[in-house]
C-alpha cells in the first residue's frame, strides 16, 4: 500500500485500473474506483453539480447517489489519497476487465445511498470484489452500539437512583 499523497499525475505508485482509491476528507474517507487514463468512478449526491469536498456527506441526507466518472485530480482536490486495495487478502478481486465493465455500466445512474449499508466504500468494493464491504460502516455500527448500550446503562442507573431516593422519603 502506498502512503497518502496529494494528487500527482506522475508518481511511482500511480493507480492501476481496478484499484480502490481512498481519499482523506476532513472527518471521513471517500472512496472511488480507478478506471484508467486519470479517471475514477465514484458516487456523488444526486443534486450535486461540480465535485465538492463533502460530496459523500451530502448523500447521507438524500439517501440517493449518482454514479459519475470524473478525473481523479478533480475528485481529490486539495485532499490526499492513496491506492488501498485493503480487502485483497480477504476477497479475490474480479478480473480487471470485469471491474471496469461493471463500473462503466453504472455511470450516470442513480443508486441507493446509506451510510451504514450502501456507502461509497460499499460501492467500490462491490465493483472490485463482487462483495460490498465497508470498514467505515462497521466502525460506525460499533460506535452506535456502544453509545446505545452506554445510554441504556445511564438510563437504568438514573431510574434505580430515583427509585432509591423515593423510598427514603
CA torsion sign for 133, 136, 141, 145 is: positive
Active site residue 8: no
Q: Is 148 exposed, middle or buried (0-12, 13-18, 19+ CB in 10 A)?
A: exposed
Give the active site residue among 8, 11, 120, 122. 120
Active site residue 122: no
Q: How far is CA 83 from the centre of its chain?
A: 14
Which DSSP helix (H) or strand (E) runs through 64?
Answer: strand 64-71
DSSP 23-40: EEETTEEEEEEEEETTEE
Active site residues: 30, 120
Amino acid at each position: 500500500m502506498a502512503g497518502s499523497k496529494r494528487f500527482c499525475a506522475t508518481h511511482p505508485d500511480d493507480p492501476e485500473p481496478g484499484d480502490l482509491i481512498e481519499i482523506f476528507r476532513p472527518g471521513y474517507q471517500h472512496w472511488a474506483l480507478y478506471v484508467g487514463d486519470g479517471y475514477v468512478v465514484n458516487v456523488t449526491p444526486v443534486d450535486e453539480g461540480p465535485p465538492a469536498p463533502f460530496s459523500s456527506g451530502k448523500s447521507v441526507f438524500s439517501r440517493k447517489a449518482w454514479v459519475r466518472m470524473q478525473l481523479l485530480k478533480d475528485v481529490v482536490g486539495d485532499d490526499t489519497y492513496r491506492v488501498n486495495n485493503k480487502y485483497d487478502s480477504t476477497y479475490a478481486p474480479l478480473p480487471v476487465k470485469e471491474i471496469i465493465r461493471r463500473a462503466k455500466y453504472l455511470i450516470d445512474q442513480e443508486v441507493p445511498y446509506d451510510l451504514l449499508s450502501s456507502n461509497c466504500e460499499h460501492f467500490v468494493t462491490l465493483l472490485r470484489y463482487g462483495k460490498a464491504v465497508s470498514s467505515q460502516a462497521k466502525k460506525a455500527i460499533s460506535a452506535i452500539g456502544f453509545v446505545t448500550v452506554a445510554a441504556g446503562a445511564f438510563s437504568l442507573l438514573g431510574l434505580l437512583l430515583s427509585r432509591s431516593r423515593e423510598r427514603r422519603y
